[in-house]
Structure formats: C-alpha cells, structure tokens
Structure 1
C-alpha cells in the first residue's frame, strides 16, 4: 500500500468540512499582464490553504485552477500537455464550423435547457474563461462574509472576482443544513468512496464528525478504493498511475518535476433544482401507481426515484432499524438483482452500480471502483417555504453546487454521466434516464419494477438544469508554491 503525502494534499480531498456548514465558491480571473503579482498572491495564499492533515475547525481555504489560469501563469506547453485532454478543453468547448455542437456537450447531455449557450457562467457566452476558484468554508454566516472579504482583498492587483451579467461578483454560497438534506428533501453525501491509506480507512479518529464512526469489514470491502483514483501520482485500481499515462514533459532545469502530484481534478456544476415540479411529479405518480397521493405514498415514490428514503436509508433489504444511521455497506446483485426493492434506474443505483455492471458480482464491484468520484457539493439558495424565499429574484433560485473530485475526468465523472446516468439502456432497461438528472430524451420514462408488471411513468422535462460549470485542477500545496516561483 502506497503512503500518500497527505500533508501536501488540500483537505477537500479528505473532508467535506461537516463542522463548517457555510461555504462560498468565489470564481475569479487573473488581472491581464500582472503575472508577477499573481505569483506573489499564490505564494502568500499557499500558506493559508488548508492541508489534508490540518483541522479546519474555524475556517478552511482551498484553491482550484483552470487550464486558462495555468496558461496565465506561463506554465510551459510541456507541462500543460501532461494534463488530461478533458481538463485542457474544458467542460464546454466552444462550437466550431466543423462541430456546431461540441462532442463534450453531447457526452454530458448538456443540451436543450442545459446547453452551455444558456449558462450563466462557464458556457459559450458570459463569464466563460474562469481562471480559478477559491473554496471558502466557515462556521457561520458572519465568519464566512469576513473570510470572503479578506480573500478578495488579498487578491487585489493579481486577480479579481468574475462578474455575473448583472455586474455582481460570481460567488455561489453553499449551505449544509442541520438535517443535511438537499432541496428535494433527501439526506445528501452518504455514499462516498473510502481512500485506501487515508486516516479514516486506517481507523484513525479525526476532528470531522463524519470520520468518527468505526468502519465495518463490509464497508472496507465495498468502499475501499486505491488512492490513485483520486490523487495524482499514485497507483489506481488498474495498478497504474495517471503519470504513467500522461508522462511529464517539463524542463527539469526550469520547472518542477510534476505539478500534478498530490493534486486532483475538480468538476464543478451549478445545478438548478425545480422543487415544485419534482413534488408535483411525485404526487401524480403516487396517485397513478398506488391510487392515492397521501404522504406515505408520495414518500414511497420519492424513495424509489432516488434509491434511498429521505432519511438516507437504502431500499435494498438489509438489516437497518429505522432509528439507525444510514448504511452504505450494501450490494445489489444477490440482495436485489431485479430491482424489486430499489428500482434498477434509481438515481443512486445508476450513479454507483456497485456489483451489477460486469460478468459477475465480484468483477463488477472491482470494475465499479474504477469509476468512483468523491462528491463535495452543497445546496445553494433558500429552501422552498423559508422566510427568505422569493423576496428577490436571486433568492428564488436554488439548487446544488455539485463538486466531484477524480483523477480521470473521462473515466470517472464523464463515464458516470454518459454511460450510467444518461443511458436509456442502463441495466438492460428499455428506456429512461436518471430520474433526477438534467438530461432527457424523447419518450423518456421512469421504470419502477413490480409484480406482475413493471410501471412505466412518462417523465416530464427534467427537474434539474445546468446553469454553469467548469473543470478545475486542485493542486497540491507544493505545486501552488512551484507555480508561484
């Protein structure tokens, strides 16, 4: 087992900062021509970044850069070419005369209302070329505001916040509510991979509340994943390193050996959620299938769409008392192969098929570990029915600031999105895409397995819409310092 240099890794890789429920994602541009100022800012910022070995009890700061940002820092072509093609092209490459609709937008299902042409940022029009993002976390709203002001002030002369169309800074504020639920009402952040060699995998207690539960042997077998799937420079589930695939081409005399080491790719997607439309669909579907739309019937339909109850309990038949914490040490092949408990097309079953996509259960579980992602997203906007809801047009929108960490964008995030979530034939289904996804197609249906026949419910337009996004690189601390030299 490889020993990861955790002291050089940004803490976001190991922690979602559960004790820091208030967060802000500050998108910015480097000031044109001010390369020396940019490097000075990064040098000072590197000392404030929260390391994986740090505590982050009061606040946390993490930094991510785009390919455009690396170019501003005058990183050589040799170093840039060592990064993956997906990162270099970006999430939404511009259309060309030869490709009116770029391949990546098709792969991700970013079409229709979710087309980059309509994005608020990162798309084909406004606020496209983001250079980087600061990920700021604090214990309360007041401390978060102070942290935002301090970090924006520190970047003055070197970088400036990107602007929305209305001239306001492009800052998305996330929030983890006390019940840990997202806007559709489901407990979020439950199913996460476990990095081999991490403090949690080794049974060490940390300051994070979500790391204090002792892991079972089943959890380790199902969730334990090689570090190279998430941290560059280490062996992955294929027993290779991304560095082997994209060899370093830097000039050893003038540039660091490999600025990718101890970093990872960060996918950011602003996903707007239409909660009233989702609730209406749940009620109508409950009426159609169960002949009633009372709360128990609606809760059953909602859980079948997701694959878990709103409290987070999986639908597969495992020993889990109602008052117990949600479990994650379950599989599908032997427990619920035909989807009678958890529908085959349910959101969590598509996002992580566990032991069902492969020639046999054991092989399928091993293969699924090659396509895992670490999710660090948070809801943004006010909850439906809150006192602040609807007071302004800005507060009327809500959704998920989706964040995924992975060492291979194409083989992890994009593969999950294209081949599992958007696939109308996932799990041998005849039709239908992810019930909670932003992508839909003609004749889209939700299939709920049942006896004597399955239920096929027409799915209306998606309840989720992509409003912006970009691919970032979350560098190691020493890489930030190297970029500042």
Structure 2
C-alpha cells in the first residue's frame, strides 16, 4: 500500500503568532485521547498529524506548517484532512488571517512541498520506522498479540516448545475474531542490516553521488568533448578528433576535480571559522515544550533551524540528505537510522524561498533518551545535516564531531524546538519497538517450524530472542564453561558403540538424561559425552552427512600423515604404539564423568559412570580405555604431575558466568572461537556440519543461519522447510591426548643440568642445587611451580623460595612488552609457545587478536595409572586445524619458533626432538642440553561435543 508524507507550509503575518498558537492549543486538545478531532481521524489511515508555527525572522514571514503521515497516496491523504477536519483547519487559517479557500483540498495540494535529494528538488528527507505497516494492521496485530499473550500465560501443556506452539496455533485458529491474522503479512522491516557492501558498493555510491550533484557540469563536459572532437575530426582526421576529445575530457575532468577540491577547502575553512552558539534556550518556549513532552509513550519533536548563508551550505545539505538516504537504503536495518529504532516517522524539509530547515519527529520514549541515542548512535548523520545551520557545535568534514559534543548539542537542540500544541497520533500507547514486536509475534506464530524457532517465539513474550552472541547455555555441555573443580573425582572412558545402529541409538537415548548441560554450578556429578567420526557413523550419519565435518576430524588424530607432519607424533609416540585410539583400539565415544567424592568410594566418578557403561555393554558396546583421574585437592591450586600449578591461563568465553565476573580481561574471546553457531573474534560464523531438512522430520535441529548481526527479532522470514538443519550449533570439537609424564626423569635432568651449569655466569648466583634445578624447570615451563609467571617474577617465585609468602598465580602480563628479549621467559618455554601473546609485535593489540584466533580451551586433568602418571589433556576448539593443530605444529613443535634454531617446546619435546633449551641472560645465553623426552603420547582422538538438540537428533 502507498504511504504519503504530507508537508504543507503557508505564510502568514508574524503579528498573528500568539493567536495562532492559542487556537492550535485549543484544537490540539481535541486531537488528544477522546477528542473530536481524534474521533474524526481514527480509522482513516492517519498515523501522525501536527500543525506548528514557524516565527517570522529577518524579512521572512511566519509560516503555518502542517505535517502528517498517511496510508495511501497524496490525493487520498489530502482528501482525508479536507473531509474529516475541515472546521479545525478553517479555524486555524482564520486565526492566521489566511483567506479560507472554498476548495480546501486544492488549497492543501497547492501549498504542499515535495522534497527530494535530487539537485533541483526542494531539499528534504523522510524516514519511516516500520515500512509497510498500515494503521489498521498496527491496531489488529496489537490486539492479536494481546490475545496470544493471554494464551501463553495460561499454557500448562507438556512437551517441547514446538509442540506447545502447535497447540496455541490450533486454539487461536478457532477464534473467529482473529481469522484474518492467520495469514502471512510482509515483515521485511524486521530484517537485519544489509551491511556495507564492500569497496565496490562504496565506489558505486561515490559515482552515483557525482552523477547526482554534478550532472549539469558533466553534461557540459560531454558537450565540450563531443564538440572539440568533431571539430578536430573534420579538420585533422579521425585520430586527431579522438586525441582532442580525450585531451578535452581529461582537462575538463581535472577542472571538475579542482572545483570539487576548492569546495572542500571552502567548507573546511567555514567549519573552522563559523561561530558556535552556546546561549541557553528561551525559558518561556522551553517551558511550553516540556509541558507537552513525556505525555504518554510516544513523543513529538518540532525543530526549526536557520541555514548558514551561501550556496555551499545548500549544496552540502543536499549531499548530507543524499548520503543518509543511500545508507538507509543500502546499509541500515529497515526502519532504522543507523542503530536508532525508536522513530515512528520523521522528516527534514527546507521551506522553499527561506533559510528555515524544519525537522519533525514522532518517536518513542523521552526527549532525553532520544537525543542520547542520536549522540551515541547516529551522530554523523545529524552532524551532516545540521552542521549547515547557525550555531551548531563545531564540526569537521561535514559529518564528524558536532553532535558528539553531547551537552552542547542538546542545548542547541532545545533552542530550535517549538511547542507541539496540535498533535494527533493514531497509537499513543504503542512504541516503535512494540509495532515490530507485534508483527514478529504474528509472523512467528505462522512460520516457526523448528524447536529453536518455537523457543524464539515464546521468548517474544516478556523476554527477548537470542542474540547471535548470546549463549544458549541450556544447549551447551557443561564442560565448556569449566567450573567443575568441586567435582574432584574423575574418570575418562574411551568406548565403542554397538555395530547395530538402532542399538547404539537406544543406548544414547537412555543415556541422554544423564548428560550435563548449562553454565550453572554442578551438583554431585557431571557427565560429558563426545563422539568420534566412527561414532557418528555408527549412529546413522551417512557419507553425505559426514562430509559436512572438517577433514581433520574425519581423518582423526591417528592418521599416519597427520600424526607425523602436523602433530609430530613419531618414533615412540607414533599411533601404532598407542594404548588406545588407533586402528583396532579406536574409540567411537568419549565419556568423561566427574563427581564429588563420596565416603567409602575410591573414585565417586567411576561409580557414577558405572550404570552408563554397563548399559552400553548390554547393548553390545565395549570399553576400550579407562583412565581414572587424580583426585583434585579440595582447596588450593591444581598441580600437574611435574608439580606446577595448572590451568592458570584460560580463554574467557564472552557471555559465560566467568565473563560476567571479568569482562575486561585480555583473555575474553567470542563464543564462536570454541562453539559452532556463534560469531568468532572476526564476526564470522564458523562452518558448521548440517543435514538436509528431510533428514530431520521432527524439526529437532535448528535451521542453519548465516546471520552474524544481532537483531531484536528471530529470523522467521526464511522458508525453513528447505533450509539445512544445523547439527553443529552449540557444539565443539574436543581433543583428547593421554600424555604420560616421566616425573623422576624430569627432575633428575634438571638436577643434572643444575650441576653442569653451577658456575655459568648467566645462572643467578647464590642458589642452592635444588633452587638452580627449580630455576631450570621454571625456565622450561615459563612459570614457577607456584603458578607465578617468570615475566612478572623473573628472580624467584612470587611466594618465595620456601613458599613463605602468599602467592596468587598471575596472568595479566604481556610477553612482548614486558620481556621482548626472552630474558625472563625464554622463547622455548612451554607457556610462551602455547600462548605467545604479543611476543611477535610487542604491545600490539592486532597481534593479540591474531594470537587469540589460535587459543584453545583446556579442560584436562592429571591422572595416576599404576606407577605411571601424567596428564589427560583435553581441549575444545571450533576449528581443529586453526587452533589445536596450529598451536602444536606452528608454535609448540616448530624448530624455528621466534627465530630459534633446532629447538622445540622445552616440555613437549619428545623422542629426540627436544634436547636444547636456550635461556637468554645478560651474561649471554645459557644452553640447557639433554633436557627432553619427558612426555610420552599414549593415546587420544578427535571428538565432536554435540549440543543437546544434536544429541536428541542422533538418538533418533
């Protein structure tokens, strides 16, 4: 349906100003709730109507300005006003001593102003908050949403969100009053922002702007080129004509660019010299304005500004309007000005033949919040327009500064305002947000077809749909959030599923209620379940489905080439020598159980897992590996077998409970770095495995989305019946590696080196043999055994050599900025290789961002297995290759990391690949030799950690 912005400006004598304002106030009371004017206009397609006076000034007469927004065309809008409120308009015209015409509709048409962004149009710009929404639709959808809200409040049915939504659909469909609402309507105005469009879009915008504003000049250039070219062609031949034409074009375009440059220089000079008006607003006028404001949910603003003199400012005003119109069309969310979504309708208009720039806005909320939105969210647009008016705060390059000077801008805005004595609004109790909300409720009721879309629909009532960066914590396995330290006992099982797919699914369906999800603190136990590629296949994923998963995951950790070339698992560590996870000892499923210690049980986690494992064996599955982890201390830090405090440096997932406590940490990363279905640090969604919609007939899985921008509304507009289902959302990829640690060998090597280096000038003097050994071990790890960093505590542990002082492990340091030469924490130290921070570019935030792209979320635990002990290393990643494998290959096991030569991670160097640790000191490098092969790879695998919906789907 058509939509019309009507602006009518009629000049009148300034001597009648007070009389006109008085009649506007009297008539305005009838435009309010329950008044005769409101009754006359209600149901006629009028959204907003205001009549304002513009005082006379500097030779310009006063103006009576009517502005309104209507459903339908211009003729229909004018006829509605002339037919339904003729007495009102006549009384106002008479008060202004304007001759009342016999044909009121023709008078309004003749005095109306058509605005645009073209060079010859009257400068102006309209804005509509909910394109496509008629008054009638707004009324009906509000009533429909109110009824649905009542149903949702009374709903007590069992089952999932999709099932409950289906019941509500059936109930509301039986109500005759809402039969019309059970058909779809356009909701394009709920779409997210379109985005910038890149360099090509920007270049196109520039070229369109040049054509829009300089077409007369370009036309002259074209005539000159054609004329000179023809003349030269006739007198000197075709090549002379082409040459002269080309030369003319170059010279003319150079002149055009010089002219544009001169305009820019003139603009910058004016910006630096134009006066800024800091005077306060007229107290009497402001009192009238504030008396009318904040009356209800919706407000009106009428602002009258005076243009700065000169043609340059007229041209730059047109440019500002054109740029805003282009951005609104090609980049902003529909109905939004930048990020501002509180406006129902607004417009700028320059009254022809005057220097009066008018601004009218119908908006939700208070004046103060409205102006704050402009200052923080759309200051460039405001500045671009109003920088051309007298007294505006100082600007730069037309669009910058200005409105960002918040206090000065608000004072300026108050000086421009006129009281909105006469103002009609069709829906005085409905905000712009609620208009969109009611449309989303209706559309979602009719279109939501998956479980998560149904949940999004219920969230529209008293909640808010999930933002793309907001974690669906109930769908995410608990281990992602950490915080299970209180569950001190643990056990890991490498399991093989039954070969029969239905038997495997039956077991998973029985086991699913025991799997732990969410970010809350665990109670007595937590079960974590992850599947290998073979496990997914045994649960029924076909080859096409499996092909959606990353190559690294499908090949597996035990792939010969991957193990040798990427993970450096060779020699004694090659997969053929593993205890589990390779060939015939491969596993389909990883089960990690942690539990609170119980009296009479050696390991409560083993007891907690017993029923789950027994059920698997009953269905035909088998146990391949079982590793009971070491009981964690009830209090104090967790130490890995070499005696060092573990788990000090961990990424913090934005949106998690830990993030809420430490939002400013350098370790904060976006959820998409570890979870599928969320934007990563660069704002992109990781690739996620999907299945065709026909493979999910019960709509358990969410529909795949490519949306990365946060919006207020679920993406109900898609035809989800044809969209692939996202199996990966809320899932992650888990790495498991059983690393056996030769503790006695590690300590003996450090003692041997302490003896060899006793007299080395680079070794701190005055240390005992054990202290020298500790110093060497700390240099290999990058931290002291008490967890304090070498970067911040280079000479001794924070707690002292004897632990006589309190020590809190520290992590808020930068290797590069604080220790660029590696004299405190060597380049080959384990923690510097695992997380270089700013090592490569000291102090660079960009470098920190690059390093954070390769972080892993460690979730492992130490274990004891007979006389052997080690670390059950586990970590989570969204991308196995970019994260775990990159850290392993490019940082930890690279022989040339940070410019080193034939030197790998001082702790992980295995099977002859270690052997040397260079410790830079002021007395020259200390070379620690023969310090290697203290960690042995015993088994492991790559696993997919599914979200709750994915596990439900896999269970059939």
Q: How far 1:360 moved relative to its partner?
A: 6.4
Q: How far 1:86 moved relative to its partner?
A: 0.5
Aligned residue number for residue 209 of structure 1: none
Q: How far 1:76 moved relative to its partner?
A: 2.7
Aligned residue number for residue 132 of structure 1: 589
Specify whether residues 294 and 191 from structure 1 end up closer, same or farther in structure 2 by C-alpha distance, changes over 3 A only: same
1:407 to 866, 878, 903: 878
- TM-score, with length taken from structure 1: 0.86
Q: Is the 8 A contact 1:37 1:157 kept in 2?
A: no
Aligned residue number for residue 610 of structure 2: 149
- Alpha-carbon separation, structure 2, partners of 1:160 and 1:63: 15
Secondary structure in 1 aligned to 2:660?
coil
Aligned residue number for residue 905 of structure 2: 434
Aligned residue number for residue 180 of structure 1: 638
Aligned residue number for residue 189 of structure 1: 647
- Alpha-carbon separation, structure 1, partners of 2:613 and 2:870: 25
Q: Is the 8 A contact 2:816 2:842 kept in 1?
A: no
Q: Is the 8 A contact 2:573 2:911 kept in 1?
A: no
Q: Is the 8 A contact 1:423 1:433 kept in 2?
A: yes
- Alpha-carbon separation, structure 2, partners of 1:120 and 1:30: 19
Q: Is the 8 A contact 2:651 2:667 kept in 1?
A: yes
Aligned residue number for residue 61 of structure 1: 527
1:169-209 C-alpha deviation (Å, 9 max, x unpaired): x2111124325111101011111000111111122xxxxxx
Q: Is the 8 A contact 1:193 1:373 kept in 2?
A: yes
The aligned runs of 1:35-184 (5 Å cut-off) are: 35-93=501-559, 101-124=560-583, 126-128=584-586, 130-140=587-597, 141-163=602-624, 170-178=625-633, 179-184=637-642
Structure 1: 5+ residue runs without aligned partners? 94-100, 164-169, 204-214, 382-393
Considering only aligned residues, what root-mean-square deviation do their CA atoms show, in Å? 2.1
Specify whether residues 442 and 153 from structure 1 end up closer, same or farther in structure 2 by C-alpha distance, changes over 3 A only: closer
- Alpha-carbon separation, structure 2, partners of 1:228 and 1:411: 13
- Alpha-carbon separation, structure 1, partners of 2:928 and 2:603: 46
Secondary structure in 1 aligned to 2:833?
helix
Aligned residue number for residue 455 of structure 1: 926
Aligned residue number for residue 314 of structure 1: 789
Q: Is the 8 A contact 1:376 1:404 kept in 2?
A: yes
Q: How far 1:79 moved relative to its partner?
A: 2.3
- Alpha-carbon separation, structure 1, partners of 2:943 and 2:621: 17
Aligned residue number for residue 251 of structure 1: 692
Aligned residue number for residue 848 of structure 2: 365
Q: Aligned pair 1:25/2:480, yes or no?
A: no
Q: Is the 8 A contact 1:109 1:438 kept in 2?
A: no
1:340-380 C-alpha deviation (Å, 9 max, x unpaired): 11111100000000111358622211101100001111111
- Alpha-carbon separation, structure 1, partners of 2:876 and 2:791: 27
Q: How far 1:251 moved relative to its partner?
A: 1.7
Q: Aligned pair 1:275/2:743, yes or no?
A: yes
Q: How far 1:146 moved relative to its partner?
A: 1.8
More helix by share: 2
- Alpha-carbon separation, structure 2, partners of 1:421 and 1:42: 37
Q: Is the 8 A contact 1:357 1:368 kept in 2?
A: no
Q: Is the 8 A contact 1:438 1:465 kept in 2?
A: no
Q: How far 1:39 moved relative to its partner?
A: 1.4
Aligned residue number for residue 917 of structure 2: 446
Secondary structure in 1 aligned to 2:739?
strand
1:112-141 C-alpha deviation (Å, 9 max, x unpaired): 1101111111124x412x110111011123
Q: Is the 8 A contact 2:905 2:914 kept in 1?
A: no
The aligned runs of 1:232-381 (5 Å cut-off) are: 232-243=676-687, 248=690, 250-255=691-696, 256=701, 257-291=725-759, 294-317=769-792, 322=799, 323-358=806-841, 361-381=844-864
**Across the two proteins, how many residue pairs are aligned to each other?**
440
Q: How far 1:241 moved relative to its partner?
A: 1.5
Q: How far 1:60 moved relative to its partner?
A: 0.6
- TM-score, with length taken from structure 2: 0.45
Q: Is the 8 A contact 1:358 1:367 kept in 2?
A: no
- Alpha-carbon separation, structure 2, partners of 1:326 and 1:138: 26
Q: How far 1:441 moved relative to its partner?
A: 4.8
Aligned residue number for residue 469 of structure 2: 2
- Alpha-carbon separation, structure 1, partners of 2:620 and 2:876: 25
Q: Is the 8 A contact 2:650 2:858 kept in 1?
A: yes
Aligned residue number for residue 387 of structure 1: none
Q: How far 1:53 moved relative to its partner?
A: 3.1
Secondary structure in 1 aligned to 2:788?
coil
- Alpha-carbon separation, structure 2, partners of 1:444 and 1:142: 38
Structure 2: 5+ residue runs without aligned partners? 1-467, 702-724, 760-766, 800-805
Aligned residue number for residue 211 of structure 1: none
2:667 to 209, 223, 229: 223
- Alpha-carbon separation, structure 2, partners of 1:317 and 1:455: 20
Q: Is the 8 A contact 2:484 2:521 kept in 1?
A: no
- Alpha-carbon separation, structure 1, partners of 2:862 and 2:744: 16
Q: Is the 8 A contact 1:267 1:403 kept in 2?
A: yes
Aligned residue number for residue 282 of structure 2: none
